Each structure stands twice: as C-alpha cells, then as structure tokens.
C-alpha cells in the first residue's frame, strides 16, 4: 500500500527527501586543512626546522620549486608567508632550544668555553662561542652559544 501511494500519489505522501550525500574521497582531499590543525602545524614546524637547520633564507618558502614540492607532498597545505617563519616559528624554536641548553648546562658540574673565528663561503667573517661539558652519562656536548658576524654589510639574522 505504501509503495502504491508513493508511486501513484506522490502529492499525498509528500516530497521525497534526499539523503545527504557524502563527498567523494577525491573531493575531501582537495579541501585545505583547517587552520591550526595538528597536521598543518606539524608541516609548518617541519618547514621551520628545514629553514633553520639548512641555514636557508626565509624567502625559500616563496620559491616556486619549494611550493611545488610541498604541493606534491601535501596538496591541502597552504604555506604561510615568510614573515610567519621569521616572526613566529623560528624564534619559537630558538627559545625552546635555548631553554633546553640552559637546563642541561645547569646540571653540568663544570664547563669550558671556546671561541673560533672563521670565514663563510661568501667571505663574511664570524666569531663563534661554544660551551663544552660532559653529561652525567659521560657524553660530551658542545652547543654553540653565540655567533656574531664581524664583516661589514653581512646579514645580522
């Protein structure tokens, strides 16, 4: 009876309601990450580590080749502006690393300081201050405490 009413008297049974359609999986992977998502933050931090560890300029994040690589690896990721890395990400990483070094140094029974002068490939002169100590597990550690450019016109960042 219900089937007969639906087929031959649709005005009596009311309009058909369509079930909500689930997006196709390909469409779901084209949507950008939600701001501040865990994956978004992990990729941003990884780029910050790359910039800092490889001593790359912040402008590398605006490079066409870099953008292409990131898009191939994760198409949903939008790369933040370089100022986000220079003002937030790398300074935050620096402060975190600095606090780790300070905590470890406070546990050292004694330390030794060395200085070293050297010249970069771009012929900029630098002076580095390094602290040396031995951990409780008898492992040597030598973090750099300071790096100062001595040449005129060299980058201070």
Judged by DSSP in three states, 28 sits in helix
Based on the structure, what is the number of domains in the chain? 2
Exposed (0-12), middle (13-18) or buried (19+): which is 36, by Cβ within 10 Å? exposed
Proportion of the chain above pLDDT 70, given as a percent: 84
* pLDDT confidence of residue 64: 97
In a domain, 69, yes or no: yes
Residue 44 lies inside a defined structural domain of this protein: yes
The domain of 55 spans 36-100
Question: Which pLDDT score is estimated for 20?
Answer: 60
**How much is the pLDDT for 79?**
95
Q: Are residues 92 and 115 in the same domain?
A: no
Tell me which of 71, 100, 129 is where a domain ends: 100
> Consecutive sets of 10 residues in the chain, 157 residues long: mean pLDDT of each?
76 63 65 78 96 93 97 93 97 96 94 94 90 94 93 65
Last residue of a domain, one of 52, 81, 100: 100
């Amino acid at each position: 009876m219900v089937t007969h009413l639906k087929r031959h008297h649709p005005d009596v049974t009311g309009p058909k309601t369509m079930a909500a359609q689930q997006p196709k999986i390909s469409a779901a992977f084209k949507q950008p990450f939600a701001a501040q998502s865990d994956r978004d933050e992990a990729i941003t931090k990884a780029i910050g580590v790359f910039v800092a560890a490889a001593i790359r300029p912040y402008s590398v994040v605006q490079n066409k080749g870099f953008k292409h690589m990131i898009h191939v690896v994760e198409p949903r990721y939008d790369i933040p502006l370089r100022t986000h890395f220079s003002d937030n990400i790398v300074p935050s990483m620096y402060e975190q690393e600095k606090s780790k070094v300070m905590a470890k140094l406070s546990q050292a029974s004694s330390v030794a300081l060395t200085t070293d002068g050297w010249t970069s490939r771009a012929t900029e002169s630098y002076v580095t201050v390094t602290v040396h100590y031995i951990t409780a597990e008898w492992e040597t550690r030598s973090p750099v405490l300071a790096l100062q450019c001595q040449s005129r016109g060299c980058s201070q960042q």
